[in-house]
Chain A
Amino acid sequence: MTGKTKDEILHDHNRDGVDRRGFLKCMAWAGTGALCVMQGGVLKSYSMSRLSEMNAAELKGELSFVQISDSHMGFNKAANPDVAATLQAAVDKINALSTPPEFLLHTGDISHLSKPEEFDGVSQILKGATAKDVFFVPGEHDVLNDDGKEYFERFGKGAQPGGWYSFEKKGVHFVGLVNVMNLKAGGLGTLGHEQLEWLEKDVMHLKSSTPIVVFAHIPLWTVYPEWGWGTEDSAQALAYLKKFGSVTVLNGHIHQTMQKVEGNVTFHTACSTAFPQPKPGEAPSPGPMKVPAEQLRSLLGITDVNYIRGQHALAVVDSTLG
């Protein structure tokens, strides 16, 4: 990444009063989109206006994948009466990317009411994606009945009994976590003791230079606890990932893009493909946000992630459906 243009924002951890291990907060609200690359402690953010030239040169890395989230198949209220059409638009967008993704991650709320026909509807539409492999984690809407039986029968094969799992792709270690089960009154998302123990063992023997991607439905950082947008025991999970030079955390649930960088960890939430939700605290509740029909697709989207060997962080790029 050479040459500084007016769209580039450079944060130098050594000079901005925040120490290298300190805290840097960067938020990209829905519809704007951002690309962040960390190199040697320097975070570079690029606005979406440079995306086309970025795609041409710098984003050709060893591994490219796309995150989609919150398709809520079965939802039919005013905020989006046709969630199948917007999921199809997301697939069209994925198929049109200049660098075809090797696989897709779906970070949960596949269905709205955990119904078999809703899961079937999503699987059918995703079959149209050029990337054939899809890795799922459940959202709370996918495990509404019988402790998530319908979800786990379809998507839990090869996973641990609790639904969490890990896999390797081109030297990047991926971890899918489940934080929507056994929620306690008054609480946030929960990973639970058993899953945390598994995570500790899963990453224990990896080299600290291994890039890590963690994906789960509810954010693994506290976005807005008043609306339940956070995970009770995520700090313990992140403690197990401290030794790694590059950790990228991808979440859904809040139906808007948001990003935060803390040390070597980049947190990112994706847009929904179904309906937007309000910014934290800007509405009486986090319920579906109704916007004029012509604006809807500008608030829905996909997230394209690229791994370029030798760079500290993965490049995360959001783009809207319209």
Chain B
Amino acid sequence: MRKSVFIASVMVTAVMGLGGIQPKHNGIIASAQEKTASTAEVKIDNFSFGPAAITIQVGTTVTWINRDDIPHTVVSTEKVFKSKVLDTDEKFSYTFTKPGEYPYFCSIHPKMTGKVVVQ
């Protein structure tokens, strides 16, 4: 059995939405930054999503990566997003453009559930 290394990592590489603090040179640059700046990662390991719940800002792209020896999927319970089958080390990304709560699960192993909260 592979040793369980449970890394709950959310990497927010750049926090946007600090409009009042950051000087805006012009509208074009600001909107380009908002589209590309934020990412978060969820690891699939030992038949669980880690972290199982993450909170992100609108515009953040979440990437799921499968670290198990068994294929998994990432499927929105409310059919907002759906990955193809992810074999070992395969990834799936989705950019959240609207605030809200997005519960999801693995359609192969439905006991595996997670949630993305978009603020």
Contact = CB atoms under 8 A, between A and B. Distances in A.
A141 B47 CA distance: 15
Contacts of A226: 111
Contact of A77 (B4, B69, B73, B85): B69
A228 interface: yes
A285 B110 contact: no
A144 B85 contact: yes
B109 A228 contact: yes
B71 A141 contact: yes
A77 B67 CA distance: 12
Given A285-B46, A289-B1, A290-B1, A79 B85 contact: no
Nearest to B47: A285
Interface in B57-109: 68-71, 73, 77, 84-85, 87-88, 103-105, 107-109
B25 interface: no
A184 B79 CA distance: 12
Contacts of B1: 278, 283-284, 287, 289-290
B69 A287 contact: yes
B87 A287 contact: no
A198 interface: no
Instruction: Name the interface size band of chain A.
Output: 20 to 34
Residue with the highest number of chain A CB atoms closer than 10 Å, among B70, B88, B104, B105: B70
Contacts, number: 68
A287 B88 CA distance: 12
B85 A186 contact: no
Given A144-B85, A227-B47, A287-B46, A186 B71 contact: no
Given A185-B77, A185-B105, A287 B47 contact: yes
A196 B88 CA distance: 35
A288 B69 contact: yes
B66 to A, nearest CB: 12
Nearest to A229: B111
Contacts of A140: 108-109
A284 B4 contact: yes
Interface of B: 1-2, 4, 46-48, 68-71, 73, 77, 84-85, 87-88, 103-105, 107-111, 113
Given A79-B69, A113-B87, A283-B1, 15 more contacts: A75-B69, A77-B88, A112-B71, A113-B71, A144-B85, A183-B108, A187-B110, A188-B111, A228-B110, A284-B46, A285-B46, A285-B48, A287-B1, A287-B2, A288-B70
